[in-house]
Amino acid sequence: MTEHRASRSDGYHFIQIVTSERLLESPAPMATTPEKKVRRSRAEQRAATEKLILDTAEDLFSQRGYFGVTIKDVADAMGIHPALIHYYHDGKQSLFEAVWERRVELAVSARIAGLDDYANAVGDNVTIEGALRAFYDNAFDAYIHGEEGWRSFGRIFAQVNNAPGYGTELMDEYFDPLVLRLIELLKKAVPDASDEDLFWCFQLTSGAYTLILSRTGRIDRLSNGACSSDDFQAVRERFVTFMAAGFAAVFAASKKKDAPQSS
């Protein structure tokens, strides 16, 4: 029998289809001899259901973007009633924020650790390549060694970084302080560089980084299979070297332009 329970969310009532949550639990196989059943606690069941909701939503958001996914889409992909998702989240924005926040704290802490370790190791002897490697290498490690969900999160990060409105707010909150920390390190490496050059160089680097996280498959087609947009290890081996050379070239060009012209 289906059990119905009234719940309140955002000032309205909906019916929670409790059966949907129970269906997410895999049925125990029939045994020929009596076995002691191991039942998960209610808290464990809730945690498992929430993880499945977030995993499914993360995959869909990564493919279709924020505006291309509905609560019903997530429910349909899971084979459950949308009311069950409303039981855990007030709406799509709440669900998206939960997907984002599940990984973003680790993403931020990895970059903080990289910058801290580098700054402590070199003191004032900062280099452009060293600062960029401290900022990006740990980030790439998550996409190389982490579970598949990290790659889905990478696509979501790319969408957020390139989206006005809701994207701007999330980047301001979580990543702008990190970027400013990187800029301060780069100023130690090139103290005569202008703020204009520093921020434009970061903008160009950030754009390339988020294109890589998007994994569009274009490089696969252009290279006739020589390169794969899923090959984060190949990217990691080249990204900072390439970007550091670009930073250095921009700074050198500006310095040459500003130098007094001989008569």
The pLDDT tens digits for 116-173 are: 999 999 999 999 999 999 999 989 999 999 999 999 999 999 999 988 877 788 888 8
Supply the DSSP symbol for 80.
S
Helix axes 195-214, 128-145, angle to 10 degrees: 20
Helices (H) and strands (E) in the chain, counts: 12, 2
Tens of pLDDT along 2-54? 444 434 444 433 334 444 444 454 444 445 555 555 677 888 888 999 999 99
Q: How far apart are CA 85 and CA 174, in angstroms?
A: 26
Size of the chain, expressed as the number of residues it contains:
263
d(CA 108, CA 174): 7
At 13 the three-state DSSP class reads strand
Ramachandran quadrant class, 96 (left: phi over 0; alpha: psi -120 to 50; beta: rest)? alpha
Going by C-alpha positions, the residue among 211, 201, 176, 183 that lies closest to residue 251 is 201
C-alpha to C-alpha distance for 191 and 205, rounded to whole angstroms: 20
Query: In this structure, what are the phi and psi dihedrals at residue 209, rounded to the nearest 5 degrees?
Result: -60, -45
Instruction: Read off the pLDDT of residues 237-250 as tens digits, 9 standing for 90 and up.
Output: 999 999 999 999 99
Q: What one-letter code names the amino acid at 105?
A: E
Read off the tokens for 255: 């310095």
Determine how many CB atoms are found less than 10 A away from the CB of residue 173: 11
Element of type H or E holding 8 = strand 4-9
- Report the alpha-carbon distance of residue 24 to residue 187 in Å, rounded: 53
In a 10 Å sphere around its CB, with 0-12 CB exposed, 13-18 middle and 19+ buried, how is residue 8 labelled?
exposed
CB neighbours (10 Å) of residue 36? 5
**pLDDT tens track for 88-116:** 999 999 999 999 999 999 999 999 999 99
